[in-house]
Structure formats: C-alpha cells, structure tokens
A and B are shown apart, each in its own frame.
Chain A
C-alpha cells in the first residue's frame, strides 16, 4: 500500500476492536474517556437525586480521602497484573500491615515511624516469599497468592486476638486523614502521587516497558534477553510493599486496626484494575484508568446507599463492575480467537 504517514494512525485500540468497521477517532476517544464520562454521569445522577447529601463538600472530601487506600492497593495490584501475574494476596498484606500498626504502635507503644518502616519491610518479605513459591517451584501465582493471602488473614485474626485495636498514634492519623491540602485529606494526595508515579514508571521508563513485555510474551521476553524470572519476582515484591503502604494508610484513615474489614478490599481492587484497563489506555492496565475507576465505583455505591439501598448493594455494584469490565476487556480477545479459521 502507499505510504500512509499522514493518515489516521491505527492504535492498539483499533486493532483490538477486531472486526473493524473503521475505528474513527471519535469512537476511540469515547472509549478512552468512557470511564470519565461514566463518573460524571454517576455524580450528576446522584447529585440531582440527593443534592443535599451527595453533592456536599464533606461527602466529597470524605470519599476522596477514605478511598485513597483503595487507590494505593489497586496500584499495587497493577504491577503484577502488567507482568502477567495475579496477586490475590494484596488484601491479606493490607490487613497484616494494618494489624502490625495496631499491635506495635497502639498496644506496645512503639514509635509510629519505626512501625511504618517495619510494616514496609514485612511487605517486602511477603513479596519475596510469594515470588519464591511462584518462581522457584513453578506454581501458578494465582494459587500461591490465594494461599498466602488466606494465611495472612488467618494470622491477622490470631495476632489481633479477633478484636479491634484502637488508639493508634495521632501522628499517623494527622498525616493521613486529619491534615488537609486544598481542603482534601492528605491521603487523597498520597494516592494521587502514587498513581502518577506508577504511570510514569509504566509509560516513561525502560523498566516499565520490560514489565509489559514480560506480561504479554514470556518467550519473546526471554529471547530478547529480559530476565523474566527476576522481573516477575520484583513485581510481586513491589506489589506486596505497596499493599503494606495501603495498610498503613488504612490504619491512619480509621485510627484503629480491625482484623476483618480489610478482606472486603480484594474484590473492589480487582474491579478497579480491570475497569481501569478499559479506559485511558484501553487494553492495557494503567494507573489513571484505575484511579478514576476507584472513584467511579465509590461514587456509585455511596450514591446508592444514600438513596436508601442496603449495604449489600455495594457488593452487587463491585461484583457487577468486575464482571462487566473483564467481559469488556476480554471481548476483543475472543474476536481474535474467532479469527482463527476454525472457530
């Protein structure tokens, strides 16, 4: 064909849409920002239905601040997902580090900064163990992290004696949820910073590119001289470390450590990660997509609760979003398979 330099570049997106009728720019833009649009719609709908409660500054500030935990945890998950591995232990790690804060700081009075360092170290160790099982024994990371995640939640119940520990140092809560910048709790800004950092890492560093190659084509990566094992291991360590940070933020947000509630983070984290991968850079796990997805999911559930829905509605919403998102992102791949002559 003739040189097409000046024509519309075909992006990954158009290819993913498989049976193409000619992916126009407008359509691909709409896809990119679908989730932003969804967020605006949800806010507008609930805002008009419950203007006095939903659209108040305090509600918005509350949502922005408290959900930073989910933002950070989702960032943690995105790293192994990009490398092609599931990490189901992120919620377990979050609970562990939150409980460590409770036990060491509230019960034993250890200095909060020292506790934070210890928590992050614990994350590193858990990540090393996850990676060790996966890569030295060649076990599916899905299974390994399901196991370690469950062990960790058991350990947390045992460690915390099945009770909530309150009295965490105000040093932490001040720096997480009490102090504000532009009227919004610092936690939100931490989430924003980590999201931006992860974006930078995945899009603007050579290491980020390598991570993507490892996730998309193991054989290609190996033959291109990437140290596949090392990279996957590092991804699991990074994920556990960031998940610990999320646990610290969680302790700071609630001012207490309870041994069960952290479990509820697992599903929303996956929902946000997959939902995020359908937008901004569709077809690719990306942190801004997930960032917006988190707030979309939370806006949805908060709004529904304000309309008087029972609390189980959030499960319905998160679960539904996960299924829809995964279907949407798999849809294109199915088409690819269909191409293969015999289907």
Chain B
C-alpha cells in the first residue's frame, strides 16, 4: 500500500481530511463485502475510487450516506471529528456531503421539479410550497447549468442522459446551498459512476464543475471504470479489490498497466479483434432495414450480415440510440421495414413478441426499468426468456432450472454466483452481466445492444466483448448502439455515425479507432446548425 505522505494537487496542507474512514467493514448475511477500509479524502482534492464490479465501491458510499449500517468496529471521522455510526439517514447533509448514487436516486413517478426539491422538502419547515416560484427557480438553475430539462416533465419520461444530468445538477446545487451553512465544513461531492450515461459534452461540463468544486476547497469522490477519465480528472485514486483497499496512489505517478494490475490483480489480456472488411450487400445480409423513421430518425436504411458487429453512434440527440428499440418494437416506428431470412416485417406494426419470435434480443441501456426486475431473484430474471424449456408434466423443474442458472452465472462470471439472491443486490456491473446472460440464453439470431458495457469494469468489459464476439462467430448479427467510442472500436466491424436522425458516415476496417469515431462525430456536429433542444421524451410507453 502506498499512501503518499502528501496529498495531491489542490489540497490544503494542514486542514483535516473531509472524511477519514477507519476500518470500515460491511457484511451482508455473513458475507463481508467491505473489509476494514481506511480511506482519507482531503479538502480540495478530486479522489478517484476504482475497483472491479462488486469490489464494494457503492457499498462504501452507501455507508457514508447512512444507508448501510457498517459492521461494529468501523470508525468514521468527518472534518477531524469522530462521528457516531451508523450515520442517521440524511445526516450527511449536516456535513455538507451530497451524492449522485449509481442508481441516481430519482423517483421516477414524480416530476423533475419534485425530484430536484426532494432534499429541501424533507427539511423545509414552511407549510405550503410555492410551486410557481419553484418552477421558475428550477428553470434558472437548469439554464445556469445549460441543461435542457423541463421542470414539469415526469422523470419516467426522461432518457438515461437526462436523468443523470438531473441527479448531477441536484447534487451540485445542494452542495452549493449547503456550503452556506456554518458548521458543515468544506463538504464533499460523491459521484458513483456519473459518466456512464453522459455524452462527451456532458462529461466535459461535469469535469469542469468538479474542478470548480475542488477549487473551492471541497472534496470530490469520483467512481469510474474508465481509466482515461480517472487520469484526466483525479488527483489521487484509491483502488478496492474484493472489498479491501488495495492502494491509494497519486494518479499522475502510475501507469495504466499499474492501475489495471491494481484493479484486477493481473494484466489485462490483449483483446484480439480480427476485423474483416466485408460489408454485406443487401442480397446476402441477414437483416435489411429499409426507410426507418420516427419522430427523431429519418429514413434510415442499412444491412446487417450474419456474424457482423455493426456499431451505431453519434452525438446526443442524433437518434442512433433509438434504432435498437425501433427494430425491436419497443416503441413504434412511423415507417420502415425489416427483412430477415424469413420474410419482411413492417416496423410500425412491430412489437417485442414478434421480435422475439424472429429471434431478436434487445439489451436496453436502462437495466433498472427496462432490463430486469430488481426485487425478483437473479435466477428468475436470468431464465425468463427460456423458462418454457423447464416445464415438465409436473410443472417447472426447479432443480434443473437452478443448475442451469448456476452454470450461466459461472460462465458469465457473475459475482456472487448465487441464483437465489435478489437481482438488485448485485453490483451494477454484475447486473449488466445477468442481463446479457438472460438474452443470450434465448440464442438470438439478431442481437440489439444499447450501451452494453455501461458500469462494467475493465476485466468484465473484455469478457463481454468476448461474449459478443462469440455470438457473432456463431452467426448472430449484432447491432451495438453506443456512445463509448473505445468499445465500438474494440468490437465493431463497421460503424455508422448518425447526425440529426440520419446515417451520415460509415467507417470500416482500419478507420475504426476511438479517435477517428470521435473526430467524425464532432466534425459532423460542428457543421450542423447549433443543435436544437433535445426532444423531451424517450417515450417508453409500457403496457
């Protein structure tokens, strides 16, 4: 362990750490997921928190938030003073802390405004709420952050990016308001994987906010799986492995290889992505999409071959992220047809039942509300698509189901591999693996992915790439809509770049690199008229 004697960049020498964790442990049902963690976060620093999926990052954060009660023997000092554990719910506010949790902590049935004000409602003493004023205030706030959000919209109708922005604005704003109070100390902003849903511009903006906050003397704790991000923004970083603190390092003084080794305990296997430069012609392609339109996509046509991995990307609002959902019938298209091996389907009349009958699979980005049900067991979630295979004359063969599920969990390296636990008790990255397992179990012929590795650690990311390649090798046509250029570069044979609802560029072969994709996206956007407001809804009509 190499805890440097002196803290990084902007931190104030002499001031006590904002947070000193001493021997913080946490067990769930006898399983220790955090094991005597000693962690200092100094005022004025941006502190990265890294580690594999399930290494305990979010659990640590939830201990700070007073949600989890740590095991006896844990100690916590804030601003140099011992605080009693567990922290009372909401007590973090008194210490000037504010959070963006991994699941964002928004209540989807309420409006943007109500969510924005939840914190204040719970403390305000006054009776009536001046809604009109509140709305106006919220508008000003969003303008100041140049975020395009309608205070009256329901959170359920927002897409992932908009939700993330809302949670971030809320936390930063709360942070500022709290700093007005006297006894809060410098305070700390805690961000648990805030960037997974953010487009590049949003990320830039978030980073400058973080710098501003740290510059003002507060601390920022920042969780991410993206090493480039961590390098760019953090002063120091702490690495968790298997619930233990492995090391705290000065970010500028470690190499990527060292970081990776600290995180996964071994070197990352080189990802061998042999790429064939064969674009299918409409004749031999498995899937041919013709003239697909809806309110934000205009007459998109493309072909997708057996075993091909086709990427789709673009800037926020360019419409690429709608394609998988439109093909799957998750929301209705205005026009378009889909030709597969066994016939032509009209996309306006598409629905998930039909899509599944044609052996299509959709892995949505929002696994919480569209992917799996948190309160149901991992087993039932993972086996939902194939449950009929387990029906015998005596009903479901539950032992068989459990065995196969166990096998799947082992194959996808889900940790912990216990079929009976509730889906929501898995860490974010492991939830993602279960979601992939669920759909691949159905042996799809067309695999539609949207941000398939969000929240997944670097080791598991390589595993998921492998899974996608395996599927492709066995003849599955894969479509991957993603704003993670590195990921696209790693897995795609071709990449379509969208601009204002249309396919504007096609990259293939050696052109597919992270930088080239980024370059294309931005040059397209620059030539465009200043982007209009992003459409308000990602209409997720259900039922």
Contacts and interface: CB of A to CB of B under 8 A. Distances in A.
B105 A204 contact: no
B422 A15 contact: yes
B233 interface: no
Contacts of A51: none
A225 B444 CA distance: 13
A337 B115 CA distance: 12
A210 B385 CA distance: 10
Contacts of A209: 380, 384, 387, 396
A161 interface: no
Given A22-B28, A204-B395, A223 B416 contact: no
B535 interface: no
A16 B369 CA distance: 18
Interface string B79-94: 0000000100110000
Interface stretch (A73-81, A87-95, A211-219): A211-219
Given A1-B416, A10-B29, A340 B377 contact: no
B376 A216 contact: yes
A338 interface: yes
A339 B425 CA distance: 13
Contact of B384 (A10, A213, A343): A213
Contact of A219 (B55, B369, B385, B388): B369
Contact of B105 (A18, A21, A339): A339
Interface-central residue, A23, A204, A339, A342, by most chain B CB under 10 Å: A342
B65 interface: yes
B352 A222 contact: yes
Interface-central residue, A4, A9, A209, A337, by most chain B CB under 10 Å: A4
Contacts of A206: 387-388, 390-391, 396
A228 B29 contact: no
Nearest to B398: A204
A310 interface: no
B385 A224 contact: yes
Contacts, number: 183
Contact of A14 (B28, B54, B370): B28
A223 B375 CA distance: 17
Contact of A5 (B330, B356, B376, B417): B417
Interface-central residue, B28, B107, B377, by most chain A CB under 10 Å: B28
A342 B90 CA distance: 8
Contact of A1 (B55, B104, B394): B55
A314 interface: no
B118 interface: yes
Interface in B345-402: 352-353, 355-356, 362, 364, 369-373, 375-377, 380, 384-385, 387-388, 390-391, 394-396, 398
Nearest to A25: B29
A205 interface: yes
A24 B67 CA distance: 19
Contact of B543 (A14, A21, A229): A229
Interface in A188-232: 200, 203-206, 209-210, 212-213, 216-220, 222-225, 227-229
Interface string B31-73: 1010000000000000000000011100000100101110100
B501 to A, nearest CB: 23
Contact of A10 (B355, B370, B418): B418
B298 interface: no
A15 B377 CA distance: 11
A29 to B, nearest CB: 13
Contacts of A337: 107
Nearest to A27: B29
B360 to A, nearest CB: 10
Interface-central residue, B106, B377, B395, B420, by most chain A CB under 10 Å: B395
Nearest to B86: A19
Contacts of A218: 542-543
Contacts of A21: 69
A9 B421 contact: yes
Given A10-B28, A20-B29, A224-B352, A342 B119 contact: yes
Interface-central residue, A12, A200, A209, A340, by most chain B CB under 10 Å: A340
A8 B242 contact: no
B31 A1 contact: yes
Contacts of A205: 391, 395-396
Given A10-B425, A339-B101, A283 B375 contact: yes
Given A206-B391, A343-B90, A225 B101 contact: no
Contacts of A24: 29-30
A261 interface: no
Interface in B120-139: 122
B376 A223 contact: no
B364 to A, nearest CB: 6
Contact of B31 (A8, A12, A225): A8
B212 interface: no
Contacts of B33: 1
Interface in A110-143: 138
Interface in A1-50: 1-5, 7-12, 14-16, 18-24
B363 to A, nearest CB: 10
Nearest to B34: A1
Contacts of B171: 341
Contacts of B355: 225
Nearest to A216: B373
B29 A1 contact: no
B170 interface: yes
Interface in A98-118: none
A225 B387 CA distance: 12
B299 interface: no
A341 to B, nearest CB: 4
A10 B373 contact: no
Interface of B: 27-31, 33, 54-56, 62, 65, 67-69, 71, 86, 89-90, 98-101, 103-107, 115, 118-119, 122, 167, 170-171, 174, 242-243, 328, 330, 352-353, 355-356, 362, 364, 369-373, 375-377, 380, 384-385, 387-388, 390-391, 394-396, 398, 415-418, 420-422, 424-425, 540, 542-543
Given A3-B415, A10-B421, 8 more contacts: A3-B416, A4-B417, A10-B422, A19-B68, A205-B396, A218-B543, A225-B353, A339-B62
12 contacts: A8-B31, A9-B418, A10-B420, A12-B377, A15-B424, A15-B425, A20-B29, A212-B380, A217-B372, A217-B376, A219-B542, A341-B105
Interface of A: 1-5, 7-12, 14-16, 18-24, 138, 200, 203-206, 209-210, 212-213, 216-220, 222-225, 227-229, 283, 337-343
List the 10 closest pairs (A to B, CB-CB), nearest first.
Answer: A340-B105, A204-B395, A341-B105, A225-B356, A217-B373, A219-B542, A341-B99, A4-B416, A342-B118, A342-B119
